[in-house]
Amino acid sequence: MGALASQLRVACPCTLRDRPDALEGASSSSSELPTRLRVCELFAGIGGWRHCGCTRLALQAMLPQGVSARFHPYDSGPHCSEVYARNFGEPCCRRNIEQLAAKDLEDFDVWLMSPPCQPFSTTREAKQRDLGDKRCAALDHLCKLLPLLRNPPRWIALENVKGFHGSEACAKWRAALAQAGFSDREIVLDLSSFGTPNHRTRYYLLAERGSRNLQQSAAAVPRLQEAMPPGALARGPWARDRRAALEAAHAAARKTPRREDKEAIFGAARRAFVQALALLSTPDVGRDVSSLTLAGTESWKLLPLPKDDPEALLVVFDIDGSDNTVATQFLEELPTLDSSQVSWSCWPPPDREHAAWAARRVGDFLETPDSGELAELLLPESTLSRSFAPGLSYVHAKDLRTFCFTGHYGKVLHKSSGSLLLTSEAPIDRSRPQASAGSVRFFSPKEILNFLGFPASFSLPPEMALRHRYKVVGNSIAVTVASELLRLLLLGQGAERLAQLEQPPPTRPAPAAPDA
């Protein structure tokens, strides 16, 4: 058993029967913790929530003296259970959550849970079946059990993809919480806001049963703009018109399943934007604007951000993850335009600070793979010669941004499943990506764990197939973010800092009208 596991009193819920200590040390005050914190991990995965409590929140070190933690993990996945046992010395209970009775969930202080995200995923190929997906059955069962408990938990934390917000399952879960006497707070946060060079936007729901109202505790804290990649921010009537055109392009792209058609739509939108920028300038410099080659106009990415400002549009010049150096150069070389129509600025502003988290580069999270592992990670020339290769996300160690790593990383090649690492200093030639063969590799599962905030001591079974390692890691939580939420939920600390990074909840698109 590892050092971390030996510090904690761990019990598999399969072996628990009567718990005479269930109310030991309990306090009627929501600001105090019991001397023995009983934590139930539902959908435990590889133990991300537990590492939030142990390594990041450091229950044994940071909480009041004399407080101890006892974890009871449930997860039916064999690979997750294997990883969990390797790092904590005890396996997850493999019982199906749908088969639990109310008595199995009595007398816990905390529930930590990450239900399956597939029914709510917004990635390509996702069907978003919500409660109609059989993988929602366990959460649906918990919705029925929670109001029936004689001694429900005092605190509950749930994590899922942002598509969970506004879903039928979300509404049903919040109704169950209210029926059981909980107040709750929804928070949408991105891992990149915490100084990690990885975009991983997730929905979190914190719930507490007691006198403190989680919504009121943060009501007085102003919310800043959501985390956005570095670029040039346009505002004004001209930007509003360009944004409307971009929103229309996004709507058209959502209606077609073919990647080539989507790329053609966005390519046309990008060309129209450059042309509109040229027409806005004076005639004698219009040609110069239309031929701007800072990073190449074909690499420009137009984003309808910030979401709550319809007169704003963000132009990102490097889709793979550099800082705003190119944006600064763009603004310096851009001719003077009509300020009544559009104003330009760098994002983020030079003086903007993201709370206490300074931006770190990709290289800070890299490992040195041995020759055998490197052979598994390198992309062959044949793959880099495929038609989709130019559209993938390639990043260097110096970059500040990567795309979200999903459970399909290593299996599905698309930037929405995660970025690729370019080990050479030369930039990728998007017209001939195969020229970089031997210098392009996948990030390793261990490196993805580093991005997510797992400790260096956390390990994966080397004999486990690479695809399974990618799946369990890609489906895990961001420990860096979730630990701060536990700090808020259990200790009431960090509300202002989190509110500065909080993003507006996603807007669920209206169902498409049936074809005539």
Torsion sign (Cα): 228, 432, 267, 416: negative
**Residue 14 annotated among the catalytic residues of the structure:** no
Task: Evaluate whether residue 515 is within a structural domain.
Answer: no
- β-strands 9-10, 440-442 pairing: unpaired
Task: Supply the pTM of this predicted model.
Answer: 0.73
| Domain edge (last residue) among 322, 347, 372 | 347
pLDDT at 296: 56
The Cβ of residue 451 has, within 10 Å, a number of other Cβ atoms equal to 24
Residue 32 — very low, low, confident or very high, per pLDDT cuts 50/70/90? low
**Whether residues 486 and 464 fall in one domain:** no
Nearest 5 degrees, angle CA 49-CA 52-CA 54?
110
Task: Evaluate whether residue 117 is within a structural domain.
Answer: yes
Tokens of 353: 């600070």
Q: What is the CATH number of the domain that holds 429?
A: 3.90.120.10
Measured CA to CA, the distance from residue 454 to residue 448 in angstroms comes to 9
- Do residues 250 and 304 touch, judged by C-beta distance below 8 A? yes
Give the three-class secondary structure for 324: coil
**Whether residues 126 and 248 fall in one domain:** no
In the chain, the number of structural domains is 3
Task: Evaluate whether residue 504 is within a structural domain.
Answer: no
The Cβ of residue 269 has, within 10 Å, a number of other Cβ atoms equal to 19
Task: Evaluate whether residue 121 is within a structural domain.
Answer: yes
Q: What is the CATH number of the domain that holds 93?
A: 3.40.50.150
| Domain edge (last residue) among 347, 381, 410 | 347
Task: Evaluate whether residue 405 is within a structural domain.
Answer: yes
**Whether residues 263 and 179 fall in one domain:** no
**Whether residues 39 and 175 fall in one domain:** yes
**Whether residues 264 and 128 fall in one domain:** no
Can you spell out the DSSP letters for 402-446? -PPP-TTTTTS-SGGG--EEE-SSSPP-TT-GGGGTTSEEEPPHH
Task: Evaluate whether residue 484 is within a structural domain.
Answer: yes
**Whether residues 301 and 385 fall in one domain:** no
**Whether residues 405 and 340 fall in one domain:** no
Omega before 306 cis (within 30°)? yes
Task: State pLDDT tens for residues 422-457.
Answer: 999 888 898 899 999 999 999 999 999 999 999 999
Measured CA to CA, the distance from residue 495 to residue 221 in angstroms comes to 8
**Whether residues 130 and 62 fall in one domain:** yes
Return the residue matching tokens 């010395």: 89
**Whether residues 243 and 304 fall in one domain:** yes
**Whether residues 207 and 244 fall in one domain:** no
CA end-to-end distance (rounded Å), the chain = 64
Closest CA to 475 of 176, 202, 66: 202
Task: Evaluate whether residue 23 is within a structural domain.
Answer: no
Task: State pLDDT tens for residues 47-57.
Answer: 999 988 655 44
**Whether residues 52 and 181 fall in one domain:** yes
Given 52, 80, 117, 143, which residue is catalytic?
117
Q: Which backbone phi and psi does 185 adopt, to 5 degrees?
A: -145, 130
Tokens of 281: 């300038």
Of 128-132, 352-356, 415-419, 438-442, minimum mean pLDDT range: 352-356
Task: State pLDDT tens for residues 269-316.
Answer: 888 888 888 777 655 544 444 445 444 566 677 888 777 778 888 887
| Domain edge (last residue) among 289, 318, 347 | 347
Task: Evaluate whether residue 483 is within a structural domain.
Answer: yes
Parent domain of 296: 231-347
**Whether residues 297 and 373 fall in one domain:** no
